[in-house]
Structure 1
Amino acid sequence: MQSRRLLALTRALRRSYLLIAFSLGSLLVGLTPWLGVASPARPSPEPAPAPFDQQTAVDSPHHPIAPANAMEPAAPVLDRAGWTATASDEETVGENGRAANVLDGNTATIWHSKWTGTPAPLPHSITIDMHRTAVVSALVYLPRTGSANGRPGEYSISLSADGQNWGNPVATGTLADDASAKTLGFAPQGARFVRLTGHTEAGNRGPWTSAAEINLLGDPGTPAATVDLSRSGWTATASDEETSGENGRAANVLDGNDATIWHSKWSGTPAPLPHSITIDMHRTAAVSALVYHPRSDGPNGRAGAYTVATSTDGATFGAPVASGTWRDDETVKTATFTRTENARYVRLTVTSEAGNRGPWTSAGEIRLSGPASPAVHGSWDRITGFPLVPVATAVLPGDKLLAWSAYAVDRFGGSNGYTQTAILDLKTGKVTQRRIDNTGHDMFCPGIAMLADGRVLVTGGSNAEKASIYDPATDAWSATTSMNIARGYQAMTLLSTGEAFVLGGSWSGAGGDKAGEAWSPDTRTWRKLPGVPAAPAQTADPAGPYRSDNHMWLYATSGGKVLQLGPSKQMNWISTSGNGSIAPAGNRADSPDAMTGNAVSYDIGKLLTLGGSPAYEKTPATRLAYTVSISGEQVQSARTGDLEHARGFSNSVVLPDGKVAVFGGQAYPVPFSDATSVLTPELWDPATGAFTPLATMAIPRNYHSVANLLPDGRIFSGGGGLCGDCATNHADGAVFTPPYLLNADGSPKPRPVISGGVPPRAAPGASLTVSTQGQVASFVLMRAAAATHSTDNDQRRVPLVSTAAGSGSYTVSIPSDTGVVLPGTYMLFALDAQGVPSLAKFVTVG
Structure 2
Amino acid sequence: MRSRWYTAAVVLGTASAKDLKYHESLYRTGRTPDTAQIGGREVATLSQPLPQGQAIDRSKWDLKCSTIANGHDCDKAIDDSTDTFWQSAASSTDQTITVYLGEERTVNGLTMVPRQDKEENLIEEHQIFLSSDGENWSEVAYGTWWPDNALKLSAFQPQNATYLRLSAAANNGIAISDLQIYETKFIPSDPVLGAWGPTIDLPLVPVAGAVDPISGAVVTWSSWGHDIFTGSPGGDTQTATWHPKGQSVTQRDVENTQHDMFCPGISIEQNGQIVVTGGTDQSRTSIYNTTDDHWYKAAAMNIDRGYQATSTLSDGRIFVIGGSFSGGVGGTERVAASGKDGEVYDPVANQWTQIPGAKVSEMLTDDIRTYRQDNHGWIFAWTNGTVFQAGPSKTMNWYGTSGDGTTNSAGERTGDEDAMCGNAVMYDNGKILTFGGSPWYEEKAATANAAIITIDQPDQIPSVEKAGDGMHYKRTFHSSVVLPDGSVFVNGGQDVGLPFNESGAHLISERFIPDTDGGKWIEQQKNSVVRVYHSLSLLLQDGTVFTGGGGLCGDCSANHFDGQIYTPPYLLEDDGSLKTDRPVIKSVSPNEVKPGDTVEVTTGGDVDEGASIIRYGSATHTVNTDQRRISVKLTKDGSNKYSFQIPGEAGIAQPGYYMLFVLKNGVPSHSVNVRVAA
Provide TM-score, normalisation by structure 2: 0.90
Is this contact kept in 2: 1:721–1:729, CA < 8 A? yes
**Alignment partner for residue 212 of structure 1, among 174, 177, 198?**
177
Is this contact kept in 1: 2:48–2:559, CA < 8 A? no
Partner of 2:110: 139
**Alignment partner for residue 728 of structure 1, among 558, 567, 570?**
558
Is this contact kept in 2: 1:390–1:705, CA < 8 A? yes
CA distance in 2, matches of 1:658, 1:454: 23
1:560-587 deviation per Cα after TM superposition (whole angstroms, max 9, x unaligned) = 1111111111111111111112222111
Residue aligned with 2:526, SS:
coil
1:476-519 deviation per Cα after TM superposition (whole angstroms, max 9, x unaligned) = 11010011111111111111121101111111113322111110
Say whether residues 1:149 and 2:129 are aligned partners.
Answer: no
Is this contact kept in 2: 1:64–1:723, CA < 8 A? no
Is this contact kept in 1: 2:51–2:155, CA < 8 A? no
| Residue 151 of structure 1, CA deviation | 1.0
Equivalence map 1:67-78=2 (5 Å): 73=50, 75=52, 77-78=54-55
CA distance in 2, matches of 1:71, 1:521: 39
Is this contact kept in 2: 1:58–1:64, CA < 8 A? no
Is this contact kept in 1: 2:266–2:274, CA < 8 A? yes
Residue aligned with 2:227, SS:
coil
Label 1:190 to 1:739 Cα distance change in 2 as closer, same or farther (>3 A): closer
Partner of 1:563: 388
Partner of 2:662: 830
1:197-217 deviation per Cα after TM superposition (whole angstroms, max 9, x unaligned) = 11x25xxxx331111212233
Alignment-mate amino acid for residue 151 of structure 2: A
CA distance in 2, matches of 1:695, 1:129: 29
483-492 or 393-402, which moves further after superposition? 393-402
1:3-36 deviation per Cα after TM superposition (whole angstroms, max 9, x unaligned) = xxxxx99x74579xx9xxxxxxxxxxxxxxxxxx
1:373-426 deviation per Cα after TM superposition (whole angstroms, max 9, x unaligned) = 31x211122111111111111112222111111112111152521111122111
Say whether residues 1:611 and 2:436 are aligned partners.
Answer: yes
Alignment-mate amino acid for residue 700 of structure 1: V
Partner of 2:463: 636
Say whether residues 1:386 and 2:217 are aligned partners.
Answer: no
1:654-676 deviation per Cα after TM superposition (whole angstroms, max 9, x unaligned) = 11111111111111221112221
Label 1:14 to 1:216 Cα distance change in 2 as closer, same or farther (>3 A): farther
| Residue 718 of structure 1, CA deviation | 1.1
Partner of 1:845: 676
**Alignment partner for residue 16 of structure 2, among 49, 53, 61?**
49
Alignment-mate amino acid for residue 347 of structure 2: P
Equivalence map 1:339-738=2 (5 Å): 371-374=188-191, 376-396=192-212, 397-412=214-229, 414-512=232-330, 513-544=339-370, 546-632=371-457, 633-641=460-468, 642-687=470-515, 688=517, 689-738=519-568
Residue aligned with 1:650, SS:
strand
CA distance in 2, matches of 1:160, 1:100: 20
Label 1:428 to 1:564 Cα distance change in 2 as closer, same or farther (>3 A): same
Larger radius of gyration: 1
Partner of 1:748: 578
Partner of 2:335: none
| Residue 68 of structure 1, CA deviation | 11
How many residues in Structure 1 have an aligned counterpart in Structure 2? 645
Say whether residues 1:814 and 2:646 are aligned partners.
Answer: yes
Label 1:754 to 1:627 Cα distance change in 2 as closer, same or farther (>3 A): same
Alignment-mate amino acid for residue 819 of structure 1: G
Is this contact kept in 2: 1:90–1:97, CA < 8 A? no
Partner of 2:336: none
Is this contact kept in 2: 1:611–1:648, CA < 8 A? yes
| Residue 71 of structure 1, CA deviation | 6.3
**Alignment partner for residue 770 of structure 1, among 601, 615, 620?**
601
Is this contact kept in 2: 1:490–1:551, CA < 8 A? yes
Residue aligned with 2:477, SS:
coil
551-560 or 148-157, which moves further after superposition? 148-157
| Residue 527 of structure 1, CA deviation | 0.5
Residue aligned with 1:746, SS:
coil
Say whether residues 1:111 and 2:86 are aligned partners.
Answer: yes
Label 1:166 to 1:147 Cα distance change in 2 as closer, same or farther (>3 A): farther
**Alignment partner for residue 171 of structure 1, among 111, 116, 141?**
141
Label 1:835 to 1:207 Cα distance change in 2 as closer, same or farther (>3 A): same
Partner of 2:152: 182
Is this contact kept in 1: 2:549–2:560, CA < 8 A? yes
Is this contact kept in 2: 1:506–1:549, CA < 8 A? yes
**Alignment partner for residue 790 of structure 1, among 609, 622, 634?**
622
Alignment-mate amino acid for residue 387 of structure 2: V
470-479 or 533-542, which moves further after superposition? 533-542
| Residue 534 of structure 1, CA deviation | 1.7
Label 1:569 to 1:708 Cα distance change in 2 as closer, same or farther (>3 A): same
CA distance in 2, matches of 1:106, 1:707: 39
Label 1:208 to 1:790 Cα distance change in 2 as closer, same or farther (>3 A): same
1:44-68 deviation per Cα after TM superposition (whole angstroms, max 9, x unaligned) = xxx9522897973556638677899
Alignment-mate amino acid for residue 421 of structure 2: T
Partner of 1:296: none
| Residue 469 of structure 1, CA deviation | 0.5
Identity of aligned residues (%): 38
Structure 2: runs of 5+ lacking an equivalent: 37-46, 331-338
| Residue 155 of structure 1, CA deviation | 0.8
Partner of 1:263: none
Is this contact kept in 2: 1:109–1:212, CA < 8 A? yes
| Residue 607 of structure 1, CA deviation | 0.4
Label 1:810 to 1:674 Cα distance change in 2 as closer, same or farther (>3 A): same
Is this contact kept in 2: 1:388–1:410, CA < 8 A? yes
| Residue 165 of structure 1, CA deviation | 3.8
Is this contact kept in 2: 1:770–1:811, CA < 8 A? yes
Structure 1: runs of 5+ lacking an equivalent: 1-7, 19-46, 220-335, 338-369
Q: Flag the structure with more relative contact order, 1 or 2, with Cα contacts below 8 A and sequence separation at least 6.
A: 2
CA distance in 1, matches of 2:540, 2:674: 14
| Residue 473 of structure 1, CA deviation | 0.8
Label 1:468 to 1:152 Cα distance change in 2 as closer, same or farther (>3 A): same
Residue aligned with 1:755, SS:
strand
Label 1:436 to 1:208 Cα distance change in 2 as closer, same or farther (>3 A): same
CA distance in 2, matches of 1:63, 1:780: 46
Equivalence map 1:93-108=2 (5 Å): 94=70, 96-108=71-83
Residue aligned with 2:357, SS:
coil
Alignment-mate amino acid for residue 277 of structure 2: T
| Residue 191 of structure 1, CA deviation | 3.7
Alignment-mate amino acid for residue 713 of structure 1: G
CA distance in 1, matches of 2:346, 2:127: 45
CA distance in 2, matches of 1:395, 1:744: 30
Alignment-mate amino acid for residue 765 of structure 1: G
Residue aligned with 2:563, SS:
strand
| Residue 145 of structure 1, CA deviation | 2.1
Is this contact kept in 2: 1:649–1:666, CA < 8 A? yes
Label 1:68 to 1:157 Cα distance change in 2 as closer, same or farther (>3 A): closer
Residue aligned with 1:634, SS:
coil
CA distance in 2, matches of 1:801, 1:72: 47
Label 1:618 to 1:498 Cα distance change in 2 as closer, same or farther (>3 A): same
CA distance in 2, matches of 1:134, 1:670: 34
